[in-house]
Chains A and B, each alone.
Chain A
Amino acid sequence: MKQRQTYLWRIFVTGTCFVLFGLSGLILGFFVLPATLLLPGGAARRRARMRALVQHAFRLFVDTMSGLGGVSYEFTGTERLGRPGQLIIANHPTLVDVVFIVAFTPAPACVVKAAIFSNLFTRWVVQAAGYIRNAPTQTMIEQANLALGSGDTLIMFPEGTRTRPGQSRHFHRGAASVAARSAVVLTPVYISVDQPLLHKSQPWYRVPRSRPHLSLRVGEDIDLAQYREMPPPRASRQLNAWLLAHYEAESGLASVYNEEQ
């Protein structure tokens, strides 16, 4: 009985969080954004303010999700996030991965899928924050290189889209290409969740039987020296292959879900 109650409660919390997320996007876009435009400072200052605003909003969102008992989480090594010219990469098992990473990274930029730029709830914020659209690829790579070159912290998900449980991992080469060319440091974040949570083939109300737990861990910076000495096409291929193997080794075990779900 108790378990059934918490199950229903988590469905309620999850639904509430979706609504909150959408509303926050609209409030930030229609009220806060115009207000910040009135503050002094040029385009760069405005963008930085919007990024900081998104970070704090996401932090509040994370606190709400976990505070209401929708998820529990641990995130280690966050003090190493947010350095100038840092490219942060992460695997992508759940819908909320980016929310967690942004919440703990001072004023980051982020590569997000093009659909976010046309979604009514999110478009105003991602535009004002100067987030980078993932398509077309060439423009994305040029903008990512520019962002890192100007000292921004940038977040990318090499898997491109959320993975399904049991699906074999695939990394798009864009992140490796950007890393080899223009990252000052490349920092991996490993994400695992103890049961399928808001993954691609799961409707929002299909919450797990028990409260899901997210583990996020900031890994050691990846040494890029050897990739800087080879022609860029080879560097991006070798680095991508290395990253894929590295992620398999670091979080391969964690990506095996309880299949009975």
Chain B
Amino acid sequence: MRTRDEVLEQITASLVELFEIEPARVTLAARLNEDLEIDSIDAVDLIDRLKRQTGHKISADDFRSVRTVGDLADAIHALVKA
């Protein structure tokens, strides 16, 4: 998992599988909370899954400023690169 596109693909797959969201709704601008109805508890499940998939230590604190799918992709991408 290196490029941002691959990260995005992974996020989309997770959202579809965990929350049964239609892939078409997962756009970079989609807001996790308002548009995709992912609340703070769902976010824990999502982060947990991404953590296991990427094999990186990720904590909720890394996602304080994440609002959209694009933000999330950036945050994960930055962590994976680091």
Contact = CB atoms under 8 A, between A and B. Distances in A.
Q: Do A and B come from one complex?
A: yes
A260 B18 CA distance: 48
Given A136-B40, A142-B44, A232 B60 contact: no
Contacts of B43: 138
Q: Dominant SS at the B interface?
A: helix
Interface string B20-59: 0000000000000000000111111101110000000001
B6 interface: no
B41 A236 contact: yes
Interface residues of B, number: 16
B18 A231 contact: yes
Given A173-B41, A233-B42, A139 B17 contact: no
Contacts of A142: 44, 59-60
A232 B40 contact: no
B44 A141 contact: yes
A232 B59 contact: no
Contact of B18 (A136, A139, A232): A232
B40 A233 contact: no
Contacts of B47: 138
Interface in B2-28: 17-19
A157 to B, nearest CB: 16
Contacts of A231: 17-19, 45
Contact of A141 (B18, B19, B41, B61): B41
Contacts of A86: none
B38 to A, nearest CB: 8
A132 B71 CA distance: 29
A137 B40 contact: yes
Given A173-B41, A231-B17, A138 B48 contact: no
Contacts of B17: 231
Nearest to B63: A138
A142 B60 CA distance: 9
Nearest to B45: A232
A233 B19 contact: yes
Given A137-B44, A138-B43, A139-B61, 13 more contacts: A136-B40, A137-B40, A137-B41, A138-B40, A141-B41, A141-B44, A142-B59, A173-B39, A174-B41, A177-B41, A231-B18, A233-B41, A236-B41
Per CB-CB distance, the 8 closest pairs between chain A and chain B, nearest first, are A138-B60, A232-B45, A137-B40, A141-B44, A231-B18, A177-B41, A233-B42, A173-B41
Interface of B: 17-19, 39-45, 47-49, 59-61
29 contacts: A136-B40, A136-B60, A137-B40, A137-B41, A137-B44, A138-B41, A138-B44, A138-B60, A139-B60, A139-B61, A141-B44, A142-B44, A142-B59, A173-B39, A173-B41, A177-B41, A177-B44, A177-B45, A231-B17, A231-B18, A231-B19, A232-B18, A232-B49, A233-B18, A233-B41, A233-B42, A233-B45, A236-B41, A236-B45
